[in-house]
Copies of this chain bind each other. A is one copy, B any other.
Amino acid sequence: MSLIVQKYGGTSVGTPERILNVARRVAKNHSEGNGLVIVVSAMSGVTDNLIKLAKEISTEPTAREMDVLLATGEQVTIALLAIALEKLGVPAVSFTGAQAGIVTDGVHTKARIKNIAPKMVKSALADNKVVIVAGFQGQTADGHVTTLGRGGSDLTAIAMAAAVKADLCQIFTDVDGVYTADPRMVPNASKIAELSYDEMLEMASLGSKVMQARSVEFAKKFKVVFEVRSSFNDNPGTIVKEETSNMEAVVVRGVSLEKNQAKVTIGGVPDKPGVAVRIFSALAAAAVNIDMIVQNVSAAGVTDISFTLNRDELPTARKTVEPIVRDIGATGFTAQEGIAKISVVGIGMRSHSGVAASLFEALAAAGVNIQMISTSEIKISVIVDEKEAPQGVKAAHDKFGL
């Protein structure tokens, strides 16, 4: 008998029928003798409807009250799932984030978990009840409702698993697990059985939109083993855990693609201290998220600085950078949309050389031109034309025998 935390997202609980399906799955796990904590999101569409309602009243609703409003979404789901379980004869009890003891800081709409005191949860588990916890929400130490922001329900599940010392945390979603590449793009992509936290982090931050990086980081910090799997079938998913020695035998774990990118290049930048900080602190102040930054060696005392960002943020970036270009005495700047980022990820790279060369070779053979390169210890990313990206991903996937 194991103690398992399971998380079901908005699609998995999107209708009464689907909630009953989840209940049947949970009932089966319970009948096998497992202790169960089930974390659920709001039914799909509910959160959007609540936001729409608030916007009909005010274009700028206050963050504190948005949290009070949105927290109702998950509260509806926990009650309905508990009702479904009790209909199937399974003892169940639902708790809001506050009742489950999830204490956060006071940063409304994107609070961080400070600690978990799951007294009611533990007591209900001891009574052999299935415990259902509202994801995405918590409460400050002085009793105000908070929400955890994007990916908050995954974070609730990982954090609950750490707090109750669960044997396993299962993240049920609408995909089967983490793949070596997007199966819609690479038909022979295969599901990865095991992945290290660091690899998952790189995948997560690279557009393999299975989980937000913050949940993976939390899992890594508290050594929570978790599995990403589908709520619509019984296939085993992808297990994410601390790296093991045999994980290193695989050089490249997967290939990911991030579209909708844009690139800004500031040309003729005087090569002296304090220039880069001028640019990037201004962008940070304007809340523009920068992804890759590339600066090459300078020639004749000037250099080019390039960075990539989400295409949606390009207008703000333009407005922010333009006056600085003049100030720092650069010769100009160009912005380009229609680019994409291809990355290969694998902790095996640390102990294998020639991975970059193999990637560049594969891209060249496929006729894909590389515009920018950036590498980390377990990842190599290249910027290419968005139109050439699909054949680039396929070529890389084939090259590394995934």
Contacts and interface: CB of A to CB of B under 8 A. Distances in A.
Please report whether the interface of chain A is mostly helix, strand, loop or mixed according to DSSP.
Answer: helix
A186 to B, nearest CB: 40
A99 interface: yes
A69 interface: yes
Given A62-B86, A143-B99, A68 B57 contact: no
Contacts of A61: 83, 86-87
Given A71-B75, A76-B72, A143-B99, A65 B83 contact: yes
A79 B68 contact: yes
Task: Tell which of A53, A65, A71, A99 has the most Cβ of chain B within 10 Å.
Answer: A65
A50 B71 contact: no
A120 B94 contact: no
A20 interface: yes
Oligomer: number of copies: 2
A245 interface: no
Contacts of A78: 68
Listed from nearest, the 7 A-B pairs whose CB atoms lie closest are A69-B79, A72-B72, A16-B56, A58-B87, A68-B79, A61-B83, A65-B82
Given A58-B86, A68-B82, 16 more contacts: A20-B57, A50-B76, A53-B76, A54-B83, A57-B83, A60-B87, A61-B83, A62-B83, A65-B80, A65-B83, A69-B79, A69-B80, A72-B76, A72-B79, A99-B145, A120-B143
